[in-house]
Amino acid sequence: MKRKHRMNSNTILILITVLLFFIMYFIGCVIYANKGFGNFQTFLNILINNSGLLCVVAGMTCVMLTAGIDISVGALVAMDCMLLATGMVKGNNCILMLLLVLLIGAVFGLVQGFFISYMNIQPFIVTMAGMFFARGMTAVISTKQVSITEANNALFYQWANTKINFPAFMGIVNNKGATMVPFIRPPVIIALLCVFAIFIMLRYTKFGRGLYAVGGNEESARMMGLNVKMIKLKAYVLMSIISSIGGICYCMNTMSGSVQQATGMEMQAIAATVIGGTLLTGGVGNVLGSFFGVLIIGTITTLVQTNGKLLSSWSNIAVAALMCFFIILQALFSVIREKTASKRKNARVLWSGK
């Protein structure tokens, strides 16, 4: 009975997120119709620009489900970009570099996960150290901005600049008379695959259900016979690997590496996950909600950019306001949930736990 109720309020939260995205997008279409906001390509551009963030958010959802957090992702993405850029400029094999980045991501996650699950140190502190480390390593590799051009790595350049066109009938004729066919780039496909894989994993695999169990109540998960420490460790390894994939997507978009890249990405990822209805206390959440969270953040940024006159800080304020709205909504839901639950339970519960 309780489970059903709980699933209910979560679905409502995700529905609100999805609805809000459509409303915002619709408002954008109406206000900025003359600036081409209504084009299908605008929507695809949001996906293209946020493909790195999408990957990161998929991983962040898994970590937040275990009641953890990972604030090292932005720095990790920056390190990956820098590594890819420097490696490719020096003429290394493209595929080798990509594999190296994934391997480094796995090792990075392994170390973080070890400290968090086996040494029992707070995730925030460990990943903060990880963030310092990755950001510093970026500077150690190079303090300058390194760009990948066609001359130094043709294969990667070709991949990043591939246009995957939609069928021609979806195209529109612009004011110069040329037909513009909507297109996406490879990072989008990688990102969507990541989100889909995580969705399947969370829903149908043993490990995915284990994440929910650990986040819901660590003690009872242990009593059920789950290897809590191992699951947590795996979650952080998964997070770092997916962040590395996100780093590759990000690098395909920017085609460069610099120290200041992807600053604040971790907070954007957390914001998207929160807007998507995942609770930081763990055990509640869905990667689909996070996906729409990213779309909402992307839409806000695009709206502010399309306006042109507004300061860019307005997009941050809008994101903060939205987050405030969702957080309060979640809090209200949990208050209602608690009240209905406490009616059923006896008063003894009050004495145990916080």
Residues that bind other proteins (CB under 8 A): 69, 115, 118-122, 124-126, 128-133, 135-140, 143, 259, 267, 270-271, 274, 279-281, 311, 313-314, 316-317, 319-321, 323-324, 327-328, 330-332, 334-335, 350-351, 353-354
Q: How far is the CB of 4 from other proteins (least distance, A)?
A: 23
* Nearest residue to 105 via CA among 231, 237, 230, 224: 237
Nearer to other proteins, 125 or 155 (CB): 125
DSSP 281: T
Distance between CA atoms of residues 140 and 161, nearest Å = 29
Nearer to other proteins, 106 or 327 (CB): 327
Nearer to other proteins, 42 or 258 (CB): 258
Q: How far is the CB of 248 from other proteins (least distance, A)?
A: 23
Q: How far is the CB of 116 from other proteins (least distance, A)?
A: 11
Q: How far is the CB of 268 from other proteins (least distance, A)?
A: 9
Longest dimension (CA), the chain: 74
Q: How far is the CB of 264 from other proteins (least distance, A)?
A: 9
Distance between CA atoms of residues 195 and 130, nearest Å = 24
Backbone angles phi, psi at 149, to 5 degrees: -120, 175
Q: How far is the CB of 206 from other proteins (least distance, A)?
A: 27
Nearer to other proteins, 42 or 112 (CB): 112
Nearer to other proteins, 139 or 192 (CB): 139
Distance between CA atoms of residues 250 and 268, nearest Å = 14
Nearer to other proteins, 48 or 279 (CB): 279
Q: How far is the CB of 256 from other proteins (least distance, A)?
A: 16
Nearer to other proteins, 205 or 263 (CB): 263
DSSP 277: T
Q: How far is the CB of 235 from other proteins (least distance, A)?
A: 18
Distance between CA atoms of residues 230 and 235, nearest Å = 9
Nearer to other proteins, 193 or 324 (CB): 324
C-alpha 39: how far from its chain's center? 25
Q: How far is the CB of 129 from other proteins (least distance, A)?
A: 4
Of all residues in the chain, what percent are helix, strand and coil, respectively (each to 5)? 75, 5, 25
Nearer to other proteins, 190 or 318 (CB): 318
